[in-house]
A = this chain, B = another copy of it.
Amino acid sequence: MTIQQIVLAARPKGTPAADNFRTENIELKSITEGEILLKGLYYSVDPYMRGRMNDAKSYAAPFQMDQPISGGVVAEVIESKSSKYNAGDRVLGMLPWQEMIIAKEAAIQKIDASIAPPSYYLGVLGMPGLTAYFGLMHICKPTAGETVVVSGAAGAVGVVVGQIAKINGCRVVGIAGSEEKTTLLKEQFGFDEAINYKTTDNIKKAIATACPDGVDIYFDNVGGEISDAVIANINFHARIALCGQISLYNSAEIPVGPRLQPMLLTRSVLMQGFIISNYQQQFPEGIQYLAKYVKEGKIKFRETIVNGFNQLPHALLGLFKGENIGKMIVKA
């Protein structure tokens, strides 16, 4: 069977472009004992993938040149030589960008489509939702009445952070890059305030106005000057979860900015970098929490779905232009 796959054609310097990717036709063999043949339904594109395009040691191994990109995929079982899976099952795995995929049993897990649509397992019930949950609840430990600021607030992680903070009785201020996004944050996702950083003259002042009691918790998805402005408003004993730094991922040089340590020192601030795999042992706790509030309608979720397997590179590049609201997903 001939299928398409998308491989890394060149490592980007700075902002990635379409020619960093290449679509290839490959021949798929028949499956053997213990293997499962899958058809990709939904493919996740995520900011952390930018790091994997570099040839640098990081928390996730670099993508290999001329090998398929891989990431979160929701797939349907087409044929199974495993007793654990049957044709028609919906599964989730870290899988290659191929139209059809041969997987081992251990690489996939079944998903429960009765709780939420299958694509939600790439979003609110998947890595982005768990990232929001563990970063906010385990690092920032919000208490009622505190002020929480979220950057990249309209992204897959950000919208969940804001809603969990509201569930915990906090005042929530989101920072995002368009009027459409800030309106949605307030009207759909229950944020108390939302700041459009692209149209705000003075982001530091805008944060001070939106946070009259200062910032107790900062959930940082973007880094750079937006973070400088938030940290300028930070309270004594504040907590900062470093989740993403999307504004810096495409920097070819080492980015420079005001030194943070004097501020963190004099205000006794905690800053904690994290990656979601640190919490792997506790995933069931996070999934239970998220599923409960999704079912109750207290955590809403939104997806930006791009149609067509071949659109995967375009969708990934779109993340860095802020083209998504909520989770960016490619539907095959």
Binding site for B on A (CB under 8 A): 51, 58-59, 220, 223-224, 227, 236-237, 242-245, 248, 254-275, 278
Choose among B236, B260, B267 the residue that contacts A260 (Cβ–Cβ < 8 A): B260
Cβ A220 vs Cβ B261 within 8 A: yes
Q: Which residue in chain B gives the minimum CB-CB distance to A237?
A: B278
Q: Which 7 A-B pairs have the closest CB atoms?
A: A264-B273, A265-B273, A242-B265, A271-B271, A255-B259, A257-B259, A270-B272
Please name 13 pairs of A and B residues whose Cβ atoms are closer than 8 Å in the assembled complex, sorted by A: A58-B266, A59-B266, A59-B267, A59-B268, A223-B262, A237-B278, A245-B265, A254-B258, A263-B273, A265-B275, A268-B275, A271-B271, A271-B272
CB distance from A258 to the nearest CB of B (A): 5
Whole-angstrom distance between the alpha carbons of A261 and B179 in the complex?
Answer: 28
CB distance from A246 to the nearest CB of B (A): 11
Whole-angstrom distance between the alpha carbons of A261 and B266 in the complex?
Answer: 18
- With a cutoff of 8 Å between Cβ atoms, the chain B residues found around residue A245 in the complex are 261-262, 265
Cβ B262 vs Cβ A248 within 8 A: yes
Whole-angstrom distance between the alpha carbons of A244 and B264 in the complex?
Answer: 11
- With a cutoff of 8 Å between Cβ atoms, the chain B residues found around residue A224 in the complex are 259
Choose among B254, B256, B275 the residue that contacts A266 (Cβ–Cβ < 8 A): B275
